């Protein structure tokens, strides 16, 4: 899933930074789900089912629904929602299928991959599988009549596919994007042309807080100079008073990466805050935060349930990123240690710990596998390891370190059932038993392989 994932038209969340080997992106995995579903994956799988990839890296209210006979049910039905951009966009590849049918398809996919390892519990779907995305990228183009339209790039091109009301994006974000087109026209703002390199505005990123209601608008421009910026922000907030912060992101490189490295706050605090499982997290233009907060809360609560924390356990959060699940676990653990290679993610994690007044958690910037080897060599122990690796799964070096450290429980959160099965087989051969596995539909209407699974493993003890 590495190839071209940072190319516009190939991945909506293409602001991912390149990171050192063994680290974790500030954004979570490519399993944002949307863009991988936009096209059929013509690339070979980067991970073989029975072989480890040595450079594996992380490219980031529903309920279980059953009716009589064990069939899965859901609100969405084929034809209930029609998207005029469906054929050219391709993001919602399962839109013609009822939500009940696609849940069954995803559940069957997980069952097939985990056959012989564990029989998964029924998939947990969404009660309302529409408008769940809290992170929206919009590109723009000027039509022949001079008007500006928003949408996404068609695969492999700079041709814009107009999308006025995406069915899986936050409805507030959809409305803001539509009104930005008019504001760009009114203020005579030039839209950047990828081919000629002429223009100012490249993209707009909108991030919304599901629980907080806060909204951030990020104007991605080639220059830090934005004409009449105060008047522009005032006009935007007059139309949308729900906008709590506006940021100008400068990306002056001839590149298809969406975000540049420099952020200039035009209004507000430069980030939004949102709540997840009782914790508050800051979400900046660059930072990772799961795109489906409703299902993320379900996924994380299930992981904490599997961890069986009772206030006495020491927990290691590997691939901890910005510290979300580790901070949630800290409420019920004696101590949590988060390990992450990406320095920016570690800074965000430390900030989030202060924000939530969590004093029993610390973060270490280091490769998680090497850190576990050091712990084992120093005869340190942990009771539970939380691991949430990239789509490529973990690697043999990490899993070997995990086995050496020998925690009583391992909670494995996966966005790829294929690599999950491979890693579970390895751990099964090295002293662990898979006790439970639950799939969670994080990305409704996208391809069947885009499904999260949380698995519980416990250490085998001699009889």
Q: CB–CB of 92/37 below 8 Å?
A: yes
- Radius of gyration for the chain, computed over Cα atoms and rounded to the nearest angstrom: 22
Torsions phi, psi for 282 (to 5 deg): -85, 135
Six-digit token string for 396:
């043999």
Q: What is the dihedral of CA 311, 315, 320, 324, to 10 degrees?
A: -10
Q: CB–CB of 205/221 below 8 Å?
A: no
Query: Which DSSP category does 15 fall into?
Result: T
**13 carries a ligand binding annotation:** no
| 279 part of the active site | no
Torsions phi, psi for 317 (to 5 deg): -100, 95
Measured distance CA(53)–CA(45) in Å, rounded = 11
**80 carries a ligand binding annotation:** no
Q: CB–CB of 86/95 below 8 Å?
A: yes
Query: What are 265-271's contacts with CB under 8 Å, separation 24+?
Result: 266/219, 266/226, 266/229, 266/230, 266/233, 267/233, 267/237, 267/243, 268/216, 268/243, 268/244, 269/244, 269/245, 270/245, 271/216, 271/245
**388 carries a ligand binding annotation:** yes
Nearest CA to 151 out of 131, 183, 174 is that of: 174
DSSP state letters, 287-323: S---S-HHHHHHHHHHHHHHHT--S--EEEEET-TTS
Q: Exactly one of 89, 166, 277, 415 is catalytic; name it.
A: 415
**319 carries a ligand binding annotation:** yes
Residue 230 host element (H or E): helix 229-239
Q: CB–CB of 445/292 below 8 Å?
A: no
Q: CB–CB of 90/39 below 8 Å?
A: yes
Give the 3-state secondary structure percentages of the chain, helix then strand then coil, rounded to 5: 25, 25, 50
Beta strand segments in 38-174, E: 62-64, 124-126, 135-142, 148-153, 160-162
Q: Does residue 245 sit in helix, strand or coil?
A: strand
Positions at the binding site for S-adenosyl-L-methionine: 290, 319, 340, 388
Residue numbering of the annotated binding site: 290, 319, 340, 388
Active site residues: 415
């Amino acid at each position: 899933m590495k190839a071209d994932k940072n190319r516009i038209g190939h991945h909506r969340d293409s602001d991912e930074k390149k990171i050192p080997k063994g680290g974790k992106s500030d954004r979570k995995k490519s399993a944002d789900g949307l863009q991988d579903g936009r096209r059929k994956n013509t690339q070979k799988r980067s991970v073989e089912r029975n072989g480890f990839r040595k450079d594996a890296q992380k490219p980031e209210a529903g309920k279980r629904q059953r009716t009589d006979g064990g069939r899965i049910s859901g609100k969405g039905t084929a034809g209930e929602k029609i998207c005029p951009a469906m054929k050219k966009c391709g993001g919602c590849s399962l839109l013609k299928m009822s939500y009940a049918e696609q849940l069954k398809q995803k559940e069957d996919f997980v069952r097939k991959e985990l056959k012989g390892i564990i029989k998964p519990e029924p998939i947990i779907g969404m009660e309302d599988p529409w408008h769940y995305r809290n992170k929206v990228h919009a590109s723009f183009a000027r039509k022949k009549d001079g008007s500006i339209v928003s949408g996404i790039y068609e695969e492999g091109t700079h041709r814009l596919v107009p999308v006025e009301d995406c069915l899986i994006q936050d409805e507030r974000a959809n409305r803001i994007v539509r009104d930005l087109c008019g504001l760009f026209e009114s203020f005579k703002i030039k839209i950047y042309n990828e081919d000629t390199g002429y223009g100012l505005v490249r993209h707009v990123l909108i991030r919304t807080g599901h629980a907080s209601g806060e909204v951030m608008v990020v104007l991605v421009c080639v220059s830090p100079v934005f004409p009449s910026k105060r008047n522009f922000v005032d006009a935007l907030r007059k139309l949308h008073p729900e906008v709590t912060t506006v940021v100008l992101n400068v990306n002056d490189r001839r590149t298809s990466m969406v975000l540049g490295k420099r952020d200039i706050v035009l209004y507000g605090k430069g980030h939004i805050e949102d709540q997840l499982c009782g914790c508050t997290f800051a979400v900046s233009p660059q930072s990772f935060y799961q795109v489906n907060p409703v299902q993320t809360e379900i996924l994380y609560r299930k992981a904490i349930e599997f961890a069986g924390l009772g206030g006495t356990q020491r927990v290691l959060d590997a691939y901890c990123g910005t510290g979300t699940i580790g901070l949630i676990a800290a409420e019920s653990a004696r101590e949590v240690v988060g390990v992450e290679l990406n320095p920016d993610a570690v800074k965000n994690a430390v900030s989030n710990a202060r924000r939530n007044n969590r004093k029993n958690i610390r973060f270490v910037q280091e490769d998680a596998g090497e850190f576990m080897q050091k712990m084992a060599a120093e005869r340190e122990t942990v009771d539970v390891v939380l691991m949430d690796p990239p789509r490529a799964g973990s690697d043999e070096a990490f899993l070997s370190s995990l086995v050496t450290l020998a925690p009583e429980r391992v909670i494995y959160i996966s966005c790829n059932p294929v690599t999950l099965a491979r890693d579970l087989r390895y751990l099964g051969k090295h002293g662990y038993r898979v006790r439970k596995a639950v799939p969670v539909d994080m990305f409704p209407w996208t391809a069947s392989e885009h499904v999260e699974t949380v698995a519980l493993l416990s250490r085998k003890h001699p009889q």
